[in-house]
Structure 1
Amino acid sequence: MGKTELAKELAFLLGGVLVDLDWDEGGATRAWGYRHETRATAPLLDALEAGRVPRPLSGGGVRADLIPSHPDFAIHQPPADQMASTLEKWSQSLGRPLVVDTHPGGVSSTMGAVAAAHVIVVPVNLETRALKATESMAKELQGGYPLLFVINRVEAAPEAELRQLEKLSDTFDIPVGPVVSSHTFLKRRKLTMAVCAPGRSGEIPARAAGFVEEMHEVARSVLDLALKAQQ
């Protein structure tokens, strides 16, 4: 589970609008069940071109409402400052928080989303290479950005890597949020509804209960940090 899974579950739990700025095929838009090939319009591109607020697609109460991405967004991104002000305008006009799934590269739309964010959730894998990448990102974004580390895909807690993450947290004054364990069922899951959404029975399936509990903890941490950022 990575940034996209976190984004779509947090958007559902927080009652927010999921804004997908990642044009790759494996992003939140596909996971939501939206296929641009079957649509005559491109809500994200159309809204940016017209300077208007898009109407989110309804998640029907079982997934977050969505402003879907499109492959052409890769070559039609606004500058970072324009993307930031656009996201702020959309959130204000919709009267709802936005949860933005960004492209993993340091492109203009990603930097715009970072500039507008009250909380930047950073999934962290306790692996040597992943921690080096996290350190590079922390160095690049140090200086007031509201980052939150979320330890992700945890099967065990290697002591050396935990110490390294603790050092990063202390050095750059970045809080570490709740842990999200490794859940093998997510790798094979094909449903488009949020994992945190109860099924028709009104109950969370037993195999998902641990993950859902962890995501509720992450959502609470995000809310707490967002409130502090606005004080």
Structure 2
Amino acid sequence: MAISPEIDGIVVLPIPDPPVEAGNGHLEELAPATESPAAETPVAPPRRRRPAWVVPAAIASVGLIASGTLGYFFYTTLQQRDSLHTQLVATKGTLTSTQGQLTAAQADAASRKVTADYVAVYVTDEGKILTDYENTIACSGYSACRTVAQQFATDMQAFQADRKAANVPSSLSASDSSLGDALSAAIAGDQELITGMDNGDVSKIDEGGTKVDAAMLNMAKAETALGTGLK
């Protein structure tokens, strides 16, 4: 039983915490304290065991792929090298043929040049002696005929020297030899003609003139053979 009925009716009220002074001089109420939940420890899931055949199978697969790739590259490289070798052989054959053609062309050009040089000498010198020969036939009087005969001898000797110094083409060697013989005979006949004129020996003049005529005929035959060799 209580001491007094008034005391029994008194209810005890909770006393709030005093406000905390903030840094700016104002009072702020304290937030009610809350209990932080306890941190949960993560639980690792159970590990599944890898089948024993997985690693060897993977290694075998990698090896198979690698060997297949290397084999493909090796095969491709061999094919390319075989193709290049075939092209190289064909190219060498073409080069050999081309070199042969160039050599033949050079030889032909050299032969043509030799022939052209020889013909140039022949035409130039022959033109001179033909003019001299016609002048010996047309001349009259000792002085004019003696001068023409001497010029004729000089030009024939120059022709003979040029012919011997020239590189005679093989195809013209026979006609060149005949030309040399004709020139020698004409020079000898002209010398006899000059001697006859100097000594007033008509027989020597006639004999020398006849030898010159025969030599010029042989020279014409050599020229015909020369033309045949040039075809």
TM over 0.5: same fold? no
> Which structure has more RCO (C-alpha within 8 Å, separation ≥ 6)?
1
Which TM-score applies when normalising by structure 1? 0.23
Normalized per residue, which structure has more helix? 2
